Amino acid sequence: MPQSDQKSRPIRSYVLRQGRMTEGQQRAYEALWPRYGVELADGQLDLSERFEQTQPVTLEIGFGNGESLRQLAQKQPEHNFLGVEVHGPGVGHLMIQLDQHQLSNVRILKHDAMELLRHHLQPGSLQRVLLYFPDPWHKRKHNKRRIVQDEFAELVHRALIPGGILHMATDWEDYALQMMSVLSAHQGFDNQAGEGNFSPRPETRPLTKFEQRGERLGHGVWDLLFERLA
């Protein structure tokens, strides 16, 4: 590969660890993707055409197995949810859950979230952006791969409506401090908990099994809620 191509390749905030899909997850892809899946073409994504109802849209980046997203969609039928995840088994698991609970307010993208934010979302198209427990890339030499950087803050700011919320959560204190630094430095956001303060976990964020296990082991969790200024 030419050296110029290597330099232009974007840094990914994830590593594909696909694993093997179960038979049920594979069947979900075949049967349910036409209902819940969204394919990205060139240009911007018109979210109003993707959902059955015209409602405020929440984007969850990296939904894992989709359990939190399913709970949110079930508890908040007055909202539409767009989930982005690159790992196939998690996508299949979420579609199974959506079908079992007959939820129609969720759509799924199997895509790089940064590419979505850079090229495919219309400005002011989202009411909320959720980033729960992203890969911490805890080794210092890998910190550059964390998704929360200056570009991320700017792209989320563009995608949110005025008054829209970016909600992040992590169980890595070092990453929490980086999140705080990046978002506090952006002039277009206001920390809902006050300058430099973390927020208590809002009731709207489901408590995951992963988080419950961490609490039993004495791990802390840090929530950050930033509002886009007008």
Structure tokens at 175: 């990453």
Note whether 129 and 186 are within 8 A (CB).
no
135 is catalytic: yes
Choosing from 99, 135, 171, 190, the catalytic residue is 135
In 9-66, which residue ranges form alpha helices assigned H by DSSP?
23-36
Tokens standing for residue 192: 């809902």
Contacts of the segment 48-55: beta carbons below 8 A, 24+ positions apart: 50/82, 50/107, 51/80, 51/104, 51/105, 51/107, 52/104, 52/105, 53/80, 53/104, 53/105, 55/79, 55/80, 55/105
- What tokens appear for 66 in the block? 């989709």
Known catalytic residues? Answer: 135
